[in-house]
Structures are given as C-alpha cells and as structure tokens.
Amino acid sequence: MKILPTLNLRSVSMDDAQALFLWRNDPDTRRNSINTEPVAWEGHVAWLTKSLGMPTRKLYVAEVGGTPVGTVRADNENGIEELSWTVAPEARGKGFGKMMVLQFVQEKLRGEKIIARIKDGNPASAAIAKALGLSPGPAEDNTATWR
C-alpha cells in the first residue's frame, strides 16, 4: 500500500518571504505565470506586505514534515475565488501540487465558486484543474480560464 505524506496548510507570514521569492523567480514558474517578468526583492516584500493585509486574499504555504513545499493563493473578486499555485522546484512531480490545491479548496474554500487561469503547455496545472472538477474555456493570449 502506498503511504501518502500528510500535507499541512498554514497561512503565509513575512518569514516566508525568501522562499516565496525564490519560487516566484524560478524559470518554470515565470514561464507559466501571467506576468513573466522577474520580481525584485523590494517589490516582492511590498507585494507580500500588502497581500497579508488584504481581506480578499487567502495565501497559504503547504508543508510536508515541517518543510515548505508549495504555496497556493485565492483572490476573491465578486464572489469568485481565483486560484493560483506554485510548488517548490525541488518538490515538483511528486503529487504535492495536486494534493495541496485539492486540500486548500476543501479546507478553505468549501462551496465557493472557483476559477483558475492556466497557460498553454502546463499539463500538470491542467491536470490539477481537472481534478478540481473545472473545465477550460477558450484560450485567449495562450491562457485558458478554467471554471
């Protein structure tokens, strides 16, 4: 029998700034992001500070055995939660992304309407969106909205 690791979701704090910065500027993360520009440290700290004070934003880190393996975010706009996720480069391809996003939606967004915007050529994220029960709309600028 395959034993699945337990994944713990906790709120992000300023102590996570360095990890989130590294994950955000990872080349694969940038390629699959809507904004592909690298982020500067000062801008990142300003973004995180603002994010932690936003009542419409949920920002979590997933940990396995106390080690952060990824981050997931939801932004509420007009009652719809837009999801975004990233797994630490060294933790990819192990099932953590799918576990993290499904657990986040189940624990933190139960019953909410969710969407995710996914660029073409990101099969792992498409598989995660499918597992959430979402379907892709038509692609615009190489990006489809899954709802």
Q: Does 104 bind ligand COA (CB under 6 A)?
A: no
Q: Does 128 bind ligand COA (CB under 6 A)?
A: yes
Q: For tokens 């799918």, what's the residue?
A: 98
Instruction: Report whether 71 contacts 18 (CB < 8 A).
Output: no
Least Å distance between CB 24 and ligand COA? 9
List, as one string, the DSSP characters of 17-43.
Answer: HHHHHHHHHSHHHHHHSSS-SPPPHHH
User: Which run of H or of E encompasses 47?
Assistant: helix 41-52
**Which CB sits closer to ligand COA, 26 or 48?**
26
| Residue of 8, 9, 17, 29 interacting with ligand COA (CB under 6 A) | 29
Q: Does 95 bind ligand COA (CB under 6 A)?
A: yes
| Residue of 53, 66, 79, 93 interacting with ligand COA (CB under 6 A) | 93
Question: Interface with ligand COA by CB under 6 A: which range of 60-68, 74-82, 115-123, 135-143?
Answer: 115-123
Strands 67-77 vs 80-87: parallel, antiparallel or unpaired: antiparallel
Q: Where are the beta strands (DSSP E) in 6-79?
A: 7-11, 57-64, 67-77
Q: Does 25 bind ligand COA (CB under 6 A)?
A: no
Instruction: Report whether 49 contacts 21 (CB < 8 A).
Output: no
Provide the binding-site residues for ligand COA, judged by CB under 6 A.
28-29, 32, 85-87, 92-98, 118, 122-125, 127-128
